[in-house]
Structure 1
Amino acid sequence: MTEKSPIPKDQDADIHDDGDEPAFDWMKPAPKSMAEDAQPARADIAEDSSTKRVPDAKSTSDSASVQPVTGQPVTGQPVTGQPVTGQQPESRADRKAAEAADAGAEPALFAEPLPTSALQVRPAEAEVERRYHEREQAANAKPVAPRIFQVILAVFYPVVLLVLAIRAVTSPLFLWVEYYRPGFPGDGYGFNADDRMTYGSYAVDYLSNWSGPRYLGDLVNRNGEKLFKEGEVSHMADVKTVMLSAFGAGALMVIIGIIAMLYLRKRSKGGIRRGLFAGSIATLVLIVGLGTLAAMGWQQFFTEFHRIFFANGTWTFSLDDTLIRLFPGQFWMDAGIAIGALVFVAALLTLIFTWPTRRRRGLPPKNEAVADDSRPDADTEAVTLEK
């Protein structure tokens, strides 16, 4: 076998005539006739896309049809609404419009949210009620500071009135009224009204000044003897401590009360009136209660009162001691009545002047309110006129 001898062919070998032929049909180049038809179509598409003209009835009836949305002509193809292969719209908007036209609906510019959207989900009824009540509470909530100052006025008012009444009783004027009034018991050991007035004024002045125990300890009577014994001077010093503490607390409460009233005057309309009204009620209740206890048993009430502020054995004296001769039991009973009467009258006047009437609360008179309630509203009047 020479080189020029023909090689026998293998029956199983796959021998193609053209080794450059593609393996699949879609890889083969388009026929010449189809490529020539496609290029004019592309030229027509480019020319018509710039003008965007709408085809007329004549052109629609011919073989050349117009795409429904984009207005691109398709040559030699039936009108189906679908772009022909190789003739896709040039922009994304044109493609979207073509898809919407194919679906049979115009493209929506503003779409409604789906029923399952978060905007369409309504909270539970209990949650809606809870939010509503929270909004109502926030809208109706009032500042805390005005309420605190109103409570301060209501609490301080009885104490201030009581301190002022005590200060009015511990004065030379009250001594003069007592010593010279008819029916006041006299002194069986020699003091007349003038002696009582002189010596009693020293004792009362000592309670409100800043002098020491010698202010009373150095006093002598007409015989040159000391007027007050050592036990009496010690007790008067204790009384002075209690009195000055009460006066100091009352003065501090007055200052705080003035500050509270200035604040309420600017920040809470009617706040001063409400605070004083509550304080007057508390004062009346306190005075009525203490007065009832004192009327049921004065001696017991007087004894328990002294046990609260003084140690046992420091406030009991004999009948011939100067303090008993100047301030007998009738004096303390009258002093208690005077203190109670002063506080009661002041609290009652305060209650009257701060009573929450409609005018003080800023409401219209009752007659006008009834007239407004009976008057039909605007809508009812309008319906009546229409009828």
Structure 2
Amino acid sequence: MKQSLSPNLDYMNPYDGKRGTVQYVEYAGTISEHQDLGIYLPAGYDADREEPYRVIYLTHGMGGNETYWFTQPQASNIMDHIVAEDPGQEAIIVAMDNTLYNWDYYQIGLNVTERIIPYIEAHYNVSTDPQDRAFGGFSMGAMTSTYMAFHYADEFGYFGIFSGTNIGNATFAEDFAYDGSLLQNRVDQTIALAYLQEVDENIVPSEDLLNAVVFTMAGNVDTAVYANGFAPYGAYETIRDWCQEYMPEENFIDGGLVPGSHDIYTWAQCFHTFAGEVCWSKNTAPEEPETPVDPEMPTDPEQPGEGPDVDVDTPQDTQPSTDQPDTTSPVQTGDQAQPLWYAAGAGLAAAALLGFAIKKKKSLISK
């Protein structure tokens, strides 16, 4: 991943060229017939083109709504810059309001898969292939992304987990009783880390998750990092370390710690890398291996006979192992709606910014 000590965040500014548009629409959700979505359409969106658009679904952090990704980390501006540099990364962005669900991950998951995705597929020219869908979020949204990765990996090909996690949202062995309170000991983290190892060993991922791409990233002074004193319960390292240990190497990408705290500038960097480099990376056609040279084949048609000795490289198998854990346990939900409010109380810059997300309904914003 591309990083620097002093990041250039010019991509948060409006692109000086063709720009997409952001619109806000109502859809029938699981709570109300009038719930809201923020939707970014790329410049020149064509409802009739033969190739459907890919979609990145985004969720905000605590206190936000469907406007936050566009008004704070500037996801629409970032996507304009990405597409200008690499048209192959073009995608629609769908931002939702999960504050409405009081961070009930189970209900959020149902709403996303049973209401939001069907609405988008009925009203926009988008692909219905899960490999053309991505899901990402920061802070409480990272906890939501963790839940979606473990419970709905059959619906998405890519997951972005930015500035935090909730490992209790994983799927566990039937005989394991997860206790999130044991991971929240910030006085003696040795106790929490010892229990975390037990938690990791009892996580039972689905085959779909093992075949998806998971991306993690946080800020170097991010309060959702236990290297900065944060409890392992919701720390970025918690999901990073599990993925490094149990995900196929080719399906896990760690963006590391970028310059920033628990704020919009860190999340802008997270999204820029996720949307610009991670999403759709598995869809890139692999290079055709060179045809091995047969030592018995004459190299000169005018000189038949035994050819020269040639070292032949055996093509490597790039497919992930199929020898993976079998997920037969029922879906289990970890800690329900335990927000990162204690991190916000420690003086997060994000906490002050979250209040600026002003709801805008049914209006069209042209950049």
Scaled by the length of structure 1, the TM-score of the pair is 0.22
Between structures 1 and 2, the one with greater strand share: 2
Does 1 or 2 have the higher relative contact order (CA < 8 Å, sep 6+)? 2
Between structures 1 and 2, the one with greater helix share: 1
Asked which structure has the greater CA Rg, the reply is 1
